[in-house]
Homo-oligomer: A and B are copies of this chain.
Amino acid sequence: MKARIFVTLKGGVLDPQGRAIQHALEGLGFAGVNDVRAGKLIELDLADGTSDDDIDAMCRKLLANTVIENYRIEKVA
């Protein structure tokens, strides 16, 4: 079973990496880039039968810093 975890910074948190990407895109001549936010995508290959609770616990304990980050779990067949 595969699962994808999307980790994104919460709204008010400064994102220097995103800001750097935005400036770099402008430097390359791309106009109209209003905002960039950088996040993480973690793909897990899990044993069949891993519970949703376990995946959620992985996110809370290791994959996301819930003080400043949100996470979303997407299970793939």
Contacts and interface: CB of A to CB of B under 8 A. Distances in A.
Q: How many copies does the complex hold?
A: 2
A39 B37 contact: no
Category for how many chain A residues contact B: 20 to 34
A73 interface: no
Interface string A9-20: 000000000100
Given A7-B41, A38-B42, A39-B40, A32 B47 contact: yes
Contacts of A7: 41
Given A25-B58, A62-B25, A31 B43 contact: no
A52 interface: no
A32 B50 contact: yes
